[in-house]
């Protein structure tokens, strides 16, 4: 796999520098760390932070800004950031009203974010968190107990970020997030494997006519391989699995993310969206909000994921529609 | 090449439907055409339109909206839209002050847009145009006399779109565009070929360790193949060629686009940006504006292009910084 890189061991550092160069009006980097912080004035509100391994860009640093994250902690490629980096992000983001952490469900992330929380609490900072486990494909994956956290995480950033911007307390935000998580379900499919920088081999290999359903954003195994289907059939497979997770009735309302995994052109994402809408129409389910593009990627992997958010209450859609000043929302 | 499609012959139609489904608040499609039109109220200003073959998404429909294009005409994949479609777009976009067309320099586009202009003028609509030929890589390419039009086109959309929004006349806009074009230079490189939907073979094949400089956005030949270099060396090759096109002196100011060709992850685009900035610093050239992401793509091609806009006058940067309501700017 050819990549546009220099020394693979510096790739995250150089990426973060490039991000700052490109968007210095919005974000800053805490020097010599993987922490990207927004440039807005502090106003005493709850700070929202997230992070994890790099390689999923624009997640999470692309969602740092007014109305979403206060800071993102970027680890090495596909590797959790260390507790001391997360602690530093907590301290940098804190505006005095506590820090709320959005954690994707990977064992390394859970361990390190929790350790950082303990350290921050010893310094007198109130910290709470939520774990996102929206990927319904498999239980107990390579790096995960339970279900993986994938593209649905950006909806948590947006809705929880809006609540913080509205001045809600950390207790209210925790309650909001806990209620939100069960309403978000995702599932993906891959056309190709993914190769980490410096590796010579992809994490897995698919044949020229083969796809895999349920692959994770680090190339974790999915639940079935088969020959490539039409976009309509792919959409039907994923959507059926997602809808079965909800106790739906006609005219139920959803927000939908069609998320490219990094190497899939926008043209294919729009074709797939057209199929998703037809399938939702057939089920008499309403889509009140769409987000289509590359949001939670896996380096250059070709494929996509589909996320449904059940719009259980009006606050969700109000939050999704609120303006933000981020690079990538 | 695996693709997420249904019938390849319907791909543009289904893509446009997906785009409308996802962004119905911003754009609408003239039924049974490839025309995407913005939903804003008409206010008697000059209308800006563009278009060309599909497969370069988000160009051009992603740039339809307040402050940029009034409409985009989307042809079949890598195929110019027909004169009657362009004429229909002209008529739909016209607000009574004339229509200005931004055309990429491909023979089919030139012929069809000019024919549409003649037909529109016969119906009493004032039409003017500019041809974008920013790709310095080669002269007289597969589908082009002179130089090709590539990612720099989106800067023309933005700056000319802002002028129209400010209420400038079609004569003023024509003069602005004519002055702007020589200030925009682009050049690209490819890590992989590109396969059009329905084809079994890519337009060209590169070896596992090989890249090609100067490739066009339809897979047209570039000017040299060699082994993959570091990002820094790639940036140096492209930037040196671009800078040589301008008569630069220290502290000259530029806007820069680092444009992914469709299959290149954001991580690599940011690494490359970091190298571009270092190389600009070494030359004591200032970058006052960056745009990094997938803007003018070539389906799933891996690679990127670099664009420099010499900021000859302050209007350019004012225009680039002005807010718009488009899907993808």
What SS3 string covers chain A?
A: CCCCCCCHHHHHHHHHHHHHHHCCCCEEECCCCCEEEECCCCCCCCEEEEEEEECCCCCCHHHECECCECEEEEEEECCCCCHHHHHHHHHHHCCCCCEEEEEECCHHHHHHHHHHHHHHHHCCCCEEEEEECCECCCCCCCCCCCCCCCCCHHHHHHHHHHHHHCCCCHHHHHHHHHHHHHHEEEEEEECCCCCCCCCCCCCCCCCCCEEEECCCCCCCCCCEEEECCCHHHHHHHHHHHHHHHCCCCCCCEEEEEEEECCCCCHHHHHHHHHHHHHHHHHCCCEEEEEEEECCCCCCCCCEEEEEEEECCCHHHHHHHHCCCECCCC
Instruction: Give yes or no: residues B146 and B208 share one domain.
Output: no
Tell me which residue of A301, A36, A196, A16 sits closest to B270, measured CA to CA: A16
Is A322 part of a structural domain of the chain?
no
Query: What is the band of A130 on the pLDDT scale with cuts at 50, 70, 90?
Result: very high
Per-residue pLDDT of chain B (329 residues; tens, 9 = 90+): 899 999 999 999 999 999 999 999 999 999 999 999 999 889 999 999 999 999 999 999 999 999 999 999 999 999 999 999 999 999 999 999 999 999 999 999 999 999 999 999 999 999 999 999 999 999 988 899 999 999 999 999 999 999 999 999 999 999 999 999 999 999 999 999 999 999 989 999 999 999 999 999 999 999 999 999 999 999 999 999 999 999 999 989 999 999 999 999 999 999 999 999 999 999 999 999 999 999 999 999 999 999 999 999 999 999 999 999 999 99
Q: Are residues A152 and A21 in the same domain?
A: yes
Q: What is the pTM of this model?
A: 0.97
Q: Does B57 touch chain A (CB under 8 A)?
A: yes
In a domain, A283, yes or no: yes
Q: Is B157 a catalytic residue?
A: no
Strands A224-227 and A127-132: what pairing?
unpaired
Which of A55, A208, A211 faces B267 most closely, judged by CB atoms?
A55
Q: Is position B56 annotated as part of the catalytic site? A: yes
Touching B: A residues 213-252, CB under 8 Å: 228, 230-232, 234
Last residue of a domain, one of B119, B153, B182: B182
Which of A231, A265, A277 comes nearest B299 by C-beta? A265
CATH code where residue B90 lies: 3.40.50.10440
Q: Which of residues 109-168 of B touch A (CB under 8 A)?
A: none
Within this chain, do residues A193 and A61 fall inside the same structural domain, yes or no? no
What is the reported pLDDT for B141?
85
| Residue showing tokens 């040299």 | B224
Domain match, A95 and A31 both: yes
CATH no. for residue A230? 3.30.1180.20
Nearest Cα of chain B lies from the Cα of A281 at a distance, in angstroms, of 12
The helix/strand/coil state of B263 is: coil
CA angle (A278 as vertex; A274, A283 as ends), nearest 5 = 145
Flag whether A325 is in a domain.
no
**Shared domain check, B227 and B126:** no
How high is the pLDDT of residue A142? 86
Position B142 scores a pLDDT of 86
**Do A18 and B274 count as a contact with CB atoms less than 8 A apart?**
yes
| B159 plus B304 within the same structural domain | no
Mean pLDDT, residues A187-215: 95
Q: Do B230 and A5 touch (CB under 8 A)?
A: yes
User: Do residues A36 and A162 both lie within one domain?
Assistant: yes
In a domain, A308, yes or no: yes
**Domain end call among A156, A182, A208:** A182
Per-residue pLDDT band for A200 (boundaries 50, 70, 90) equals confident
* Same-domain check for residues A309 and A190: yes
**Is the same domain home to A39 and A84?**
yes
Mean local confidence (pLDDT), A247-262:
96
Domain residues for the domain of A90 are 9-182
Which of B1, B3, B4 should one mutate to test binding to chain A, selecting the residue with the greatest count of A CBs within 10 A?
B4
What pLDDT is recorded for position B322? Answer: 98
Of A228, A264, A270, the CB nearest to B19: A270
Q: Which residues of A touch B286 (CB under 8 A)?
A: none
Clarify whether residues B135 and B274 are in a common domain.
no
Record: contact A231-B5, CB cut-off 8 A: yes
pLDDT band at A1 (very low <50, low <70, confident <90, very high): confident
Is the pLDDT confidence value at A141 over 90?
no
In this structure, the dihedral spanned by the alpha carbons of residues A160, A165, A171 and A176, taken in order and rounded to 10 degrees, is: -30
Q: Domain for residue B328, yes or no?
A: no
- In chain B, residues with a C-beta closer than 8 Å to the C-beta of A17 are 270, 274, 277
Q: Which residues of A touch B269 (CB under 8 A)?
A: 4, 18
Q: Does residue B1 sit within a domain?
A: no
B23 touches chain A (CB under 8 A): yes
- Number of Cβ atoms within 10 Å of the Cβ of B247: 8
What confidence score (pLDDT) does residue A65 get?
A: 98
Given an 8 Å threshold on Cβ–Cβ distance, is B263 in contact with A268? no
Number of domains in chain B: 2
Residue that is last in its domain, among B135, B166, B182: B182
Does one domain contain both A155 and A18?
A: yes
Residue A189 resides in a domain: yes
Per-residue pLDDT tens over the stretch A78-116: 999 999 999 999 999 999 999 999 999 999 999 999 999
**Average pLDDT value for residue range A31-58:** 96
Task: Flag whether A2 is in a domain.
Answer: no
Q: Is B22 on the interface with A (CB under 8 A)?
A: yes
Which A residues, 258 through 317, put their C-beta within 8 Å of a C-beta on chain B? 258, 262-275, 277, 287, 290-292, 294, 297, 299-300, 302, 304
Q: Tell me, yes or no, whether A223 and A165 share the same domain.
A: no
């Amino acid at each position: 796999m050819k990549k546009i890189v220099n020394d693979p061991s510096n790739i995250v550092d150089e990426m973060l520098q490039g991000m700052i160069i490109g968007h210095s009006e919005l974000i800053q980097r805490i020097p010599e760390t993987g922490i990207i912080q927004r440039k807005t004035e502090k106003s005493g509100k709850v700070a929202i932070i997230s992070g994890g391994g790099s390689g999923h860009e624009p997640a999470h640093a692309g969602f740092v800004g007014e109305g979403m994250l206060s800071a993102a902690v970027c680890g090495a490629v596909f590797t959790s950031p260390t507790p001391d980096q997360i602690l530093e992000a907590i301290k940098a983001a804190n505006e005095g009203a506590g820090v709320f952490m959005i954690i994707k469900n990977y064992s390394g992330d859970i361990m390190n974010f929790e350790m950082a929380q303990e350290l921050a609490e010893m310094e007198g900072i109130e910290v709470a968190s939520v774990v996102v486990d929206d990927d319904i494909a498999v239980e107990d994956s390579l790096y995960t107990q339970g279900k993986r956290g994938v593209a649905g995480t950006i909806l948590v950033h947006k809705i929880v970020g809006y609540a913080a911007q509205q001045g809600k307390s950390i207790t209210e935000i925790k309650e909001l997030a806990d209620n939100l998580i069960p309403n978000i379900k995702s599932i993906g499919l891959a056309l190709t494997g993914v190769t980490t920088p410096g590796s010579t081999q992809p994490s897995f290999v698919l044949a020229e006519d083969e796809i895999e359903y349920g692959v994770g954003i680090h190339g974790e195994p999915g639940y079935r391989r088969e020959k490539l289907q039409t976009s309509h059939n792919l959409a039907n497979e994923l959507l059926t699995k997602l809808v079965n997770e909800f106790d739906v009735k006609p005219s139920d309302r959803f927000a939908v993310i069609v998320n490219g995994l990094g190497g899939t052109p926008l043209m294919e994402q729009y074709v797939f969206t057209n199929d998703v809408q037809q399938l939702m129409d057939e089920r008499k389910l309403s889509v009140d909000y769409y987000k289509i593009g590359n949001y939670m990627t896996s380096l250059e992997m070709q494929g996509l994921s589909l996320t449904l958010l059940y719009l259980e209450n009006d606050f969700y859609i109000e939050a999704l529609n609120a303006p933000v000043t981020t690079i990538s929302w």
